[in-house]
Amino acid sequence: AIDSNFDQNRERAGEENGVAVWGPVEPPEKLGIHGTHVAVDYDICLADGACLENCPVDVFTWVDTPDHPVSERKVEPTNEDQCIDCMLCVDICPVDAIDVDAS
């Protein structure tokens, strides 16, 4: 599962699609955690899609991640600022790849 303390345990490695990226990042195998309020561990996400399909405010968009060992696309929390903290994505993801900081 995603480390919910990633912002303390990882270094900020940059930004992609307007979203913070937390390392280590060594493409294409290691892609880190994307997002801060809504965070997706790209090295765990297997592109199930339930988060993207069910988020009531369309926080997520697909991005291609060719040659990543787990899946060749991931969800970017592009609109994390719109999140209403419903926790649906956290509960629905089959591999616990998402953390939402609702505090």
User: What residues line the site for ligand F3S (CB under 6 A)?
Assistant: 40, 45-52, 75, 92-93, 95, 97-98
CB of 89 to ligand SF4, least distance (A): 3
Query: Which stretches of the chain bind ligand SF4, using CB under 6 A?
Result: 38, 55-57, 59, 83-89, 100
Between vectors from CA 7 to CA 30 and to CA 26, what angle results, nearest 5°? 15
Which residue's CB is nearer to ligand SF4, number 44 or number 66? 44
The item of ligand SF4, ligand F3S, none sharing an interface with residue 2, based on CB under 5 to 8 Å by kind, is none
